[in-house]
Every structure is written in structure tokens, then in C-alpha cells.
Structure 1
Amino acid sequence: MSSAEPWDYTLYIPNDLRAVTVCRRTLRLILTMHGLIGLVDTAELLATELVSNAVRHTKGPAALRVRRTGDGVVWIGAWDTDPAPPEPPRPPAQVTESEDGRGLGLVVACADHWGWQPSARFGDRGKYVWCELAAA
């Protein structure tokens, strides 16, 4: 398979903070195997923030989805069981002042685009919070 071809992976995880490390390491392996090593550090940071929020703020299962589109964009999304929109990102000045609540601020600062959308998995209503990185 050529690294320029689209691909799509989903990792379903329990509601367990240890799953954040599993997601981060799995993402590193996926991007490395597809020749996208230059995106690994930023993608790991973004996935860590998204998956951490999904696990911390909900009680149900979660999922990490990572895909590459035909136009070379790497899309990273975390699904959780709470259908409510995420809290708005904090302004950059407030992001550095506190460990809590910095997640979406980091996503906004590091990703090319981000957003959220309602979605269902495991028969539950929920949402994806996602971001995109342009693959060089």
C-alpha cells in the first residue's frame, strides 16, 4: 500500500486513563508505518488531549480514530459517549496558566483545523472531537 493512499484506523478503548498511553503509542506506530514520522510528535500531543478529555469527562467507552484522506490530510478524532458539545477552548494566555482545561487550547494552537460533530458508536449517542494536520 502506498503511503499516499487513504487509510482509516479506529481503536476502541475502555474508560480508563491508561488507554491514553495505548492510543498514543498506537498512533505513533500507525504514522510511522505510513511514512509520516514528521507528524508523530504533534499528532501524539493532539490525540493525547482529545482522548484524555473523552476518558476524563465521560463514563462510557471511547475510541480514537485516525485516517488519511486522499488529499493528504491526517484526521484525528476521539469519540466519547457525551453528546454535548465540548467546552469552548480557552484563550492562549489562559492555556499556559493551568494544567486543567488546556486540551482544546492546545488543539487549536497546533492543528490546522478542529471541530466536533455528533456521532454514535456502541449503540450510544456521543460525539467526535477531531482535528486535522496537513501531511507534507
Structure 2
Amino acid sequence: MENLRDALSVHGITLPSLRVDLPGFAGKRGSSGGLVALGNCNTPTARRLAEVLRGGAPDARPPLDVEFVAVAKALPGLRRTVRRYLGVPCPDVQLCVTELVTNVIRHVGEGASVRVRMAQTDVDRIRVEVTDPAEGVLPVSLAATPDDETGRGIALLDAVAARWGVERGSGGKTVWCEVVAELQGRAT
């Protein structure tokens, strides 16, 4: 069990428990719990676990995982970190990260603790997750007028991302999106 836990932690996967008989679990067909039953993990962890067990995306890097205090002056450094992680310019991914963190600053509060995770999930797809402590403050698409200076973040996310959503958990929420991105020419 500890070897499995160590191997998964290399990929950023931590499981709250491994009280499952893994050989017995793996041998069951049509298990109603699927991978979610493994370690009683949540859906995002189950997705990452499935990806790792399948061998991950071709040439995929380990996930980017950054925790910081959400303040406006952190955004330029975050955009640079995203670019370095991807190895090529990717304005759509940088826009999504910036808009999601800006929403935390604006609607949860400057100084809130935020965690940004990013991983390549397919040859041309990047998953971005932004977690904050405010479970009840959910993103809402606003109808901004042409003169409004704010209120377009979720509309931009909706336009740029292939898909996006919100997962609520105890002690916070995660707003995630998947962006199709050309990464073939990235540096190694």
C-alpha cells in the first residue's frame, strides 16, 4: 500500500485512505463505485488516478501545483509560471488562469488562499483547476454592458475553454476548465 501511495504522490495524487483490497477491487467487473471507491477519493482525484494508470498523456509533465495568496500583484508572476510550465506561449490558458484567480480576488476577497493546478490531460488539452476556500461563492456569467469595465470573466472562460465547471467540497470549491492548446513545439 505504501509503495502505491508513494508512486501516486509523484503524479500529485494523494488518497485519503487505501483501505480497499486492491487485487480484489481490480478483479471486480462492473464495480458500482469504479475508481471513486479506491481510497474513497473525489472525482478529480479519480480522473487523475485513471490517467496515471493508463500511462498519462504522451510526453506529459507532472502537474503544476501552486499555492499562494490571491492578490492582484501575483497575477503577472502566475502568467509567467504558466508559460514556463507549458514551454510555449499559450494565451488561452494564461487568460483562463488569470480570469479564475481574478474572480477569487474580486468575489472571495483579496488575500484568500488559492491553489492553482494544471496538467496536460491529452496531447492537445490542458486542465486548469483553481481552488479557493469559499464553497458558497459560485461563478456566475454576467451580462456586461459595452461600458462595463468588469463582469466578463466567465463569458471569456466560456468562449476560450472547451468545457468548464465547478466542484464543491468541504472547505471550498474548485473551478476547473479544459483548454485545447497547441503544445507540439514546446521546449523539453
TM bucket by the smaller chain? 0.7 to 0.9
**SS at 1:7 equivalent:** coil
Describe the superposition over 1:96-127 as per-residue Cα deviations: whole angstroms up to 9, x where unpaired. Answer: 5422111111000111101111145xxxx111
Q: Residue 58 of structure 2 contacts residue 122 of structure 2 at CA under 8 Å; is this kept in 1?
A: no
d(CA) in 1 for partners of 2:98, 2:133: 17
Greater RCO (Cα-Cα under 8 Å, separation 6 or more): 1
Among residues 139, 148, 163, which one is paired with 1:87 in the alignment?
A: 139
- Distance of 1:11 and 1:83 partners within structure 2: 20
| Unaligned stretches of 5+ residues in structure 1 | none
After superposition, residues 1-136 of structure 1 pair within 5 angstroms as: 4-5=59-60, 7-32=62-87, 37=88, 40-59=90-109, 60-70=112-122, 72-90=124-142, 94=144, 96-119=146-169, 125-136=171-182
Percent identity over the alignment is 27
**Gapped runs of 5+ residues in structure 2?**
1-56, 183-188
Runs of 4 or more consecutive aligned structure 1 residues displaced over 3 Å after TM superposition: 94-97
Structure 1 residues 113 and 21, CA gap change in structure 2 (3 angstroms): same
Q: Aligned partners of 1:96 and 1:108: how far apart in 2? A: 18
Give the whole-Å Cα distance in 1 for the aligned partners of 2:83 and 2:123.
21
CA distance in 1, matches of 2:138, 2:169: 13
How big is the alpha-carbon RMSD for the aligned residues of Structure 1 and Structure 2?
A: 2.3
Query: Do the aligned partners of 2:134 and 2:173 also contact (CA within 8 Å) in 1?
Result: yes
Pairwise CA distance, 1:70: 4.7
Distance (whole Å) between structure 2 residues aligned to residue 111 and residue 126 of structure 1: 22
Residue 3 of structure 1 and its aligned partner are, at CA, apart by 6.1
TM-score, structure 1 normalization: 0.78
Q: TM-score, normalised by structure 2?
A: 0.58
For each residue in 1:4-47, what CA deviation from the matched residue of structure 2 results, as whole angstroms up to 9, or x when unmatched?
32531111011322122221111011011xxxx26x11111111
8 Å CA contact 1:119–1:126 kept in 2: the answer is yes
What is the CA–CA distance in structure 1 between the aligned matches of 2:177 and 2:147, rounded to whole Å?
23
Kindly indicate which of the two structures has a greater share of residues assigned to helix.
2
In structure 2, what residue type is equivalent to 1:128? T
Q: Are the structure 2 counterparts of residues 29 and 6 from structure 1 closer, same or farther at C-alpha, using a change threshold of 3 Å?
A: closer
